[in-house]
A = this chain, B = another copy of it.
Amino acid sequence: MRNFDEGRITRAVLERLSGARSPRARQVSEALVRHLHAFIREVRPTQAEWGEGIAFLTGVGAMCSATRQEFILLSDTLGVSMLVDAINHAGQGGTTDTTVLGPFYVEGPPELPLGADIAGPCAGEPMRVEGTVSDTGGRPLPGAWVDVWHSDAQGYYDVQRGDAGAPGLALRARFRTDARGRFHFRSIVPSFYPVPHDGPVGRMLEAQGRHPYRPAHVHFMIGAPGFTTLVTHLFLADDPYLDSDVVFGVKDSLIRPLERGTGGAVLRYDFVLPAGAQEEPAPAGSPGRQSERLP
């Protein structure tokens, strides 16, 4: 097979995939080639634009590190992460809605006792977070693992503060629910924030005329034996970016008002896990390495 012109190259590549090692590898590869070639045929890039595309992807790769995942950020900002989320979590009636993982999860966060304060050195308005974890029948799930992480009052995650005056890990922990499926901890109220926009994804957002902001939220990853791990956020009501989240992650069911009493703000939610394959989290106690494990 030689002399591939614009009309014949796609078929030639597809024929080359006929010996793929698994039906799924063949299916995914064929779809990738068809859609990627269709994209190229539609936009008809010049050689220089192709070079810009290569340089963009290379730059995204160069931005990735132990504490930054620029490809997840790219997936998030192009709506791919929420599309994958929607495909995998449609029609799980009665369970808590899901949303994106985001790029700031750290595998194996410090496991702390219920009631601990995770604010560390971060200043801000005190916030108590409390809730329960149960199944769709309303039965509480004792011993469920509850990983939480969120930004500080300036909108930065601990891992973004790593260069100078690093506070180490903060505003993140793993808890275990008590005998009645309850958890609670102390922290500070998070702020809305821009996703990291000093890299290629930031330049893409600028070219697309988009702001880089996410509304204030607290991340949760919750699991228990016999249940599908839940990845979600709670969003704070009245945030200015609820309607224009740069990663398209907001769902009404996940928005909660901060109840402000004499003891500071309180955020509460009762999570409901879907039954499913048993999953165990990565072991705690190896913090600082960003996850390649995904829910």
Binding site for B on A (CB under 8 A): 1-6, 9-10, 12-13, 16-22, 25-29, 31-33, 35-51, 54-55, 57-58, 60-62, 64, 69, 71-72, 75, 78-88, 90, 204, 206-210, 231, 242-245, 248, 250-252, 292-295
Contacts and interface: CB of A to CB of B under 8 A. Distances in A.
30 contacts: A1-B244, A3-B252, A4-B79, A5-B90, A6-B86, A6-B90, A9-B82, A9-B248, A12-B79, A13-B78, A13-B248, A16-B244, A17-B208, A21-B206, A27-B43, A28-B45, A31-B43, A33-B79, A36-B78, A41-B83, A44-B87, A46-B88, A51-B292, A54-B75, A57-B71, A58-B69, A61-B61, A61-B64, A61-B71, A62-B64
Please list the 6 inter-chain residue pairs (A to B) with the smallest Cβ-Cβ separation, ordered nearest first: A61-B61, A51-B294, A19-B209, A13-B79, A35-B39, A6-B86
A54 B32 contact: no
A90 B9 CA distance: 13
Nearest to A55: B292
Contact of A87 (B13, B17, B40): B40
Contacts of A292: 51, 55, 58
Nearest to A204: B29
Contacts of A54: 69, 71-72, 75, 294
Contact of A31 (B4, B29, B42): B42
A92 to B, nearest CB: 12
Contacts of A49: 28
